[in-house]
Amino acid sequence: MSCAKPRELIHAYLDGELDVVRSVEMEEHLKECTTCAEAYDALRSLRSELSVQELSFKAPPSLHKRIRKALRVEAQSEGSSWAIGWRWLSAAVPVAAVAVFALAVLPLLGRSGGGDRLIDEVISGHVRSLMVEHLTDVASSDKHTVKPWFDGKLDFSPAVVDLADHGFPLLGGRLDYVEGRPVAALVYGRHKHFINLFVWPSPVASAGEEEAVSRHGFTLIHWSAGGMMYWAVSDLNPAELGEFAGFVRERAAPSAAASG
């Protein structure tokens, strides 16, 4: 890895926003490159100095209420919850604007109770993949390219299905983290929308019924099958995401059986 790329990623590495592969690459590079290591140490020291209590500001509860009220009004005016959606963000908004929007959204995620924590983690993974322009580690519409890419990077092999004939083309895959463990994130498209399908081993062997929830303007559908957990998340409407989930369930089961 040359110094050009690490200098672009050093802030993301410091903030813990990189995927597993890039984090390892950065760690190795910092061991070998004195210049980048000094820059990283300087940034870390600056963060430490800025974190002193005298320089911190805790937003009052009234501000949180005003933000939530403004978001509800915006959602109602657009006809659906947070209809400004990621199709608009991904197509036209500068990265800086996306970052500002995410800074307002992401702190609201993770304030829920334990039961909603997994939902918030899945949404956060979806949001981050759009915000930092890191949608895929392997960009390909060929399932025979995407599936082998995960070999050696995970302790399981995710089923990768091609749904282009149903209007949900495969865009690629990447490594992500959910509940403190690495998971497979398969990325699909639907017009100008993106769908993240997170897959990891299920703690229970039996198949689970499909469940849908809506949070923060996103629709999530999750189920378990073939010893795997599946979480699909997008700003798509529930009906279309439900179609997607149904096609995945239909095709992933034979694929998993064949790989076994």
Q: List, for residues 84-110, the tens digit of each pLDDT value.
A: 444 444 444 444 444 444 444 454 444
What's the predicted TM-score (pTM) here? Answer: 0.58
Q: For position 137, what pLDDT does the model report?
A: 92
Per the CB < 8 A criterion, the answer to whether 119 and 213 are in contact is yes
Q: What angle do CA 146, 148, 153 make, to 5 degrees?
A: 100
Domains of the chain: 4-55 (no CATH), 65-259 (3.30.200.100)
Overall residue count recorded for the chain in this entry: 260
Burial of 93 (0-12, 13-18, 19+ CB in 10 A): middle
Q: Based on C-alpha coordinates, what's the Rg of the chain?
A: 20
Q: How do residues 173-226 score in pLDDT, each as one tens digit?
A: 999 998 888 999 999 999 889 999 999 998 776 666 788 998 888 999 999 998
Nearest 5°: CA angle at 141, between 139 and 143?
100
Residues 115-155: tens digit of each pLDDT:
478 898 899 889 888 876 678 999 999 999 999 999 999 99
CA torsion sign for 203, 234, 212, 209 is negative
